[in-house]
Amino acid sequence: MVRKIAFMLLLVVFTATPVKQAEAAIPWAEIIKQAVKRVVRAMDLLVQRRQNRQIRLQNAQKAIENTMAKLKLDEIEDWVKKQRDLYKEYYEELKKVKAVVSYYFRIKAIADKQVAILKQYQTAWALFRNDKHFSSQELAHMQKVYQGMLSETGRAAELLELVVKSFTLEMTDVKRLEIIDRSAASTDQIYDALSSFNQENKILSLSRARNEFDAKVVKSLYGLE
């Protein structure tokens, strides 16, 4: 009975006919999704490779130390040099591992927010496009706004890919952090703008409710108080 009532409520507010226009935002949605997957996967592999190299250096160090007892006095000097070089390489690699791990968590947080933008868009648009409180012209405007936001999100995701690729190229930490900051700032701005835009549309739909019953349905659908 409850399900039947809920279904009838949906029919009161929404039509079953989708908007008759090209879903321009869909290609960007897929681009964002794939870009984020590539970034996270590449960072996972990068951290794993660095950690594996660190382990190999640790094993090499142990092997050299194990041969210490077998060395003659005139071979000690050569051993010390090798040990010093190995320690230097080991600690340099350790710094790189720590740096990559710190980058990983920063990049992962930005990528997660980009996914949140995508999900928020998909959830909101699925409701707005079938809400008969909006005209076809208003829905077309919404699509243009979403298209702009998603294209900017896609560019922010591409910046993260550039950072990941930079670990195999010559790029300073300053430049790398600058790119990450740009991507983070853009992603935060888009997320806030999208949340505000969706909230405005929800309130607009509520303001156009025909009666108290209609208003109650809109509030339920959009999670409005």
The answer to whether residue 224 sits within a structural domain is no
What are the residues facing 14 on neighbouring strands?
Answer: 131
The answer to whether residue 83 sits within a structural domain is yes
The answer to whether residue 16 sits within a structural domain is no
User: What is the model's pLDDT at position 9?
Assistant: 34
Q: From first to last of its 225 residues, what are the pLDDT tens digits of the chain?
A: 333 333 333 333 333 344 444 455 567 677 788 888 888 787 777 777 767 766 666 666 666 566 655 555 455 566 666 666 666 665 666 666 677 777 888 888 999 999 999 999 999 999 999 999 999 999 999 999 999 999 999 999 999 888 888 776 677 888 888 999 999 999 999 999 999 999 999 999 999 999 999 999 999 999 987
User: What is the model's pLDDT at position 29?
Assistant: 74
Domain limits for position 184: 21-210
The answer to whether residue 15 sits within a structural domain is no
Retrieve residue 177's tokens: 């952090």
The answer to whether residue 63 sits within a structural domain is yes
User: What is the model's pLDDT at position 89?
Assistant: 64
Retrieve residue 141's tokens: 């405007």
The answer to whether residue 75 sits within a structural domain is yes
User: What is the model's pLDDT at position 216?
Assistant: 92
Quote the pTM value: 0.69
Q: What is the 3-state secondary structure (H, E, C) of the chain?
A: CHHHHHHHHHHHHECCCCCCCCCCHHHHHHHHHHHHHHHHHHHHHHHHHHHHHHHHHHHHHHHHHHCHHHCCHHHHHHHHHHHHHHHHHHHHHHHHHHHHHHHHHHHHHHHHHHHHHHHHHHHHHHHHCCECCCCHHHHHHHHHHHHHHHHHHHHHHHHHHHHHHHCCCCCCHHHHHHHHHHHHHHHHHHHHHHHHHHHHHHHHHHHCCCCHHHHHHHHHHHCCC
User: What is the model's pLDDT at position 4?
Assistant: 38
Total domain count, the chain = 1
User: What is the model's pLDDT at position 171?
Assistant: 78
The answer to whether residue 170 sits within a structural domain is yes
Cβ-contact 96, 50 below 8 angstroms: yes
The answer to whether residue 146 sits within a structural domain is yes
